[in-house]
Amino acid sequence: MTRAEPNVTIRALTASDLDAVVAIDSAIEGRTRRTYIQRRLAAALKEPGMHVQLAAVDGTSALVGYILARRTEGEFGRHQAGLRLEIIGVRAESRQHGAGTLLMESLARYAQRHGVGELRTTATWNQHGMLPWLGAVGFTLASDQIVDCAVGDGYRAERNDALGLRNADSPGHEVDYGAPEDNDFERVESVHCDVRAMRPEDLPQILRIDREITGRNREAYIAAKLGEAMDDSAIRVSLTARLEDAIVGFLMARADLGDFGRTEPVAVLDTIGVDPAYAHRGVGHAMVSQLFTNLGALRIDRVETVVAPAELPLLGFLYGTGFKPSQRLSFVRAV
C-alpha cells in the first residue's frame, strides 16, 4: 500500500469495488457504464500482468477514487512498453484533497517498478476540466496524430467490387507502409483477396510478415492480441487476408466500449501489416473494407487509430480509406 495524503490510502482495485466504482463513474458521466466497468475489472482478474487498477480509499475504507490502465507492448508500431490510462474517477468531495494526483503518482511508481517507460492517454480538445489536470500531473501533448472514421463513411466493398478492392482505374492508392520505398502512390493492382477472421493457426504466418515489416520478433505481443481475439470476438476484431493460399496481410482492432469517457462504442485499429511481396495489390484496402463491414454488424459507429509523425505513407493510406483527423488529442508522460 502507498500512503501520502492524510486518510487516503492506495490499494489494488478488487471485484468487490464494482458498485462503488459504478456509482462514482455514473455521477461523473451522467449515465451508467456498469457493463463496461465490469468487463474491465474481469479482464484485469484474468490477465493481471496486462492491467493496473488502483483504488483510493479514505479512513473508513470507503472508495473515493480509482484509476484503470492497460499495459501496451507494440500497439501502433511502438517499441516501448507503456501504460494506457483508460479511466480515472474521484468522488466530488475528494477532488480537492489530492486523491486523483495520488492515484496518478501511484500508477507512475508501478510503471517504474515494472519496466514501463511511459504513460499515455487521450482526451478531446474541448475537455476543459481534464486537460489542465493532465498538464498538472505531468502529461504533455504527444507528437502522434489520432485519425478516425465513421464506419458508414469508410471505404466499403459495395462501392467498388464485391471483395472491397480498388480497381486499377479507381481513384485512390494502396501504399506499402511496411517497406522503405519511394513509390508510395503507385496505383493498385486489382486482385481477388480472401479476408477472414483470424485463427490460432495463423500465428506463424502473421509473425513472419510482422518480422519482415518491423525487423523485430514480436511474438509475445502478437500472440497476446490473437488470444484476445479468440477469447472475446465481440471486443476484438482481427482479420487476415489470403492470396494464393497464403496469408499476405493481417489487421487487429478492438472495440472500446467506454474508455476515456466516450459516449459511443469505438473500435481502435492498433496493428496492421501487409507482406512486402504483395504490396500495391489492394490487400490493405480489402482488410479495412472488411473491418468496416464487421464493425457495422456489431453496431460500432466509429474506428480510430494513432499514427506516428514519421509514418506518412501509412497516414496517406488511411486517408485514402476514409480516415480524417480526430477531435481527440494524444498525451504522453515519460516515466
- Secondary structure of 164-212 in the HEC alphabet? CCCCCCCCCCCCCCCCCCCCCCCCCCCCCCEEEECCHHHHHHHHHHHHH
CATH fold of the domain at 146-326? Aminopeptidase (3.40.630)
String of DSSP letters for 214-241: HSS--HHHHHHHHHHHHH-TTTEEEEEE
Give the pLDDT of residue 39. 83
**Inter-residue contact 146 to 304 (CB < 8 Å):** yes
For the full predicted model, state whether its pTM sits above 0.85: no
Measure the CA–CA gap between 314 and 175, rounded to whole angstroms. Answer: 7
Selection from 314, 247, 310, 313 nearest residue 277 by Cα: 247
Q: Look up cell 480515472; give the residue.
A: 88
pLDDT of residue 17: 95
E strands along the chain, which residues?
Answer: 2-3, 9-12, 51-57, 63-72, 82-90, 118-124, 140-141, 145-150, 194-197, 236-243, 246-256, 266-274, 302-307, 324-325, 328-334
Please, are residues 256 and 268 in contact by the beta-carbon 8 Å criterion?
yes
pLDDT score at 167: 32
DSSP 323: -
Give the model's pLDDT for residue 226: 80
pLDDT of residue 324: 95
Other residues' Cβ atoms within 10 Å of the Cβ of residue 29: 15
SS3 label, residue 325: strand
Does domain 2-116 bear CATH number 3.40.630.30? yes
Separation CA 18–CA 240 (nearest Å): 37
**What gap in Å lies between CA 117 and CA 111, rounded to an integer?**
7
User: Residue 313: enclosing H or E segment and its boundaries?
Assistant: helix 312-320
pLDDT at 189: 44
Helix ranges (H only) for 232-309 are 283-297
Query: Which residue spans of the chain are classified as CATH 3.40.630.30?
Result: 2-116, 146-326
Closest by Cα among 263, 299, 23, 296 to 124: 263
Residues of the chain with pLDDT under 50: 1-4, 157-190
Distance, in Å, from the CA atom of 282 to the CA atom of 320, rounded to the nearest integer, reads 12
- Residue-wise pLDDT tens digits, 234-251: 577 889 999 988 999 999
Q: Measure the CA–CA gap between 270 and 189, rounded to whole angstroms.
A: 26
